[in-house]
Amino acid sequence: DQQVKQNSPSLSVQEGRISILNCDYTNSMFDYFLWYKKYPAEGPTFLISISSIKDKNEDGRFTVFLNKSAKHLSLHIVPSQPGDSAVYFCAANSWGKFQFGAGTQVVVTP
């Protein structure tokens, strides 16, 4: 039962442009959403999060948007940098139980 979905397995973006990653969820009980970044052979690292009572959270180049009515969240990275090339996972939390999407591979090209 995949309750968190990332429908784009990959994304290629030019350096300096905006990267937009999307995530959909089905469980309305999720109350906290997170984005993680993962490099090969390493564990995921926390990037940014948003509570269900908010619709936007910014941290430097990273902004997460939440649309509760559509059960959709997105991560914007601007400007994209070569070091942003990684797999990005969307995660959702309900009562301490985290569920992850399948990830989106981002490649930032010069």
Residues of this chain that bind another protein (CB under 8 A):
4, 6, 9, 31-32, 34, 36, 41-46, 49, 51-52, 89, 91, 93, 96-103
Nearer Cβ to another protein (27/78):
27
d(CA 38, CA 82): 14
C-alpha–C-alpha distance, residues 89 and 16, integer Å: 22
- Is the previous residue joined to 79 through a cis bond, with omega within 30 degrees of 0? yes
Residue whose CB is less far from another protein, 54 or 72: 54
The least distance separating another protein from the CB of residue 107, rounded to whole angstroms, comes to: 16
Q: Which is nearer to another protein, 27 or 52 (CB)?
A: 52
Give residue 16's region: left, alpha or beta (phi > 0; psi -120 to 50): left
74: β partners: 22, 65
- Closest distance to another protein from the beta carbon of 32 (Å): 5
Give me the least distance between CB of 99 and another protein, in Å please.
7
